[in-house]
Amino acid sequence: MAHAVTETAASAPLPRHIAITMDGNGRWAAARGLARTAGHKAGLEPVRLCVRECARLGIEALTLFAFSSENWSRPAEEVASLMGLFLEAIDREVSELDRQAVRLRIIGNRHALSVRLQAQIAAAEQRTAHNTGLKLQVAVSYGGRWDIVQAARALATQCTSGALALTAIDEAHFAAALELGTLPDPDLLIRTGAERRLSNFLLWNLAYAELYFSDLLWPDFDATEFARALAFFAGRERRFGQAAGEGATALKAAP
Residues near 59 by beta carbon (within 8 Å), at least 6 away in sequence = 14, 15, 16, 17, 18, 53, 134
**Mean pLDDT by 10-residue block, N- to C-terminus, for the chain (255 residues)?**
46 92 96 94 96 97 94 87 89 94 96 93 96 97 97 97 95 97 97 96 97 98 98 86 55 41
Residue 179 belongs to some domain of the structure = yes
Residue 245 belongs to some domain of the structure = no
Q: Which residues are catalytic?
A: 23, 71
User: Can you give the CATH number for the domain in which 47 is found?
Assistant: 3.40.1180.10
Q: Specify the number of domains making up the chain.
A: 1
Residue 92 belongs to some domain of the structure = yes
Helix, strand, or coil (residue 54): helix
The pLDDT of residue 191: 98
Residues near 160 by beta carbon (within 8 Å), at least 6 away in sequence = none
Among 204, 234, 249, 176, which residue's Cα sits nearest to residue 6? 234
Among 90, 54, 91, 83, which residue's Cα sits nearest to residue 67? 83
The pLDDT of residue 241: 63
Residue 251 belongs to some domain of the structure = no
The pLDDT of residue 164: 94
19 beta partners: 63, 189
Residue 69 belongs to some domain of the structure = yes
CA–CA distance, 18 with 87 (Å, rounded to integer): 24
Residue 68 belongs to some domain of the structure = yes
DSSP 240: T
The pLDDT of residue 247: 52
The pLDDT of residue 244: 64
The pLDDT of residue 81: 86
The pLDDT of residue 39: 94
The pLDDT of residue 251: 44
Q: For residue 203, what are the domain limits?
A: 2-8+16-235
Instruction: Supply the angle between the helices 44-57 and 76-99 in degrees, to the nearest 10.
Output: 30
Residue 255 belongs to some domain of the structure = no
Residue 247 belongs to some domain of the structure = no
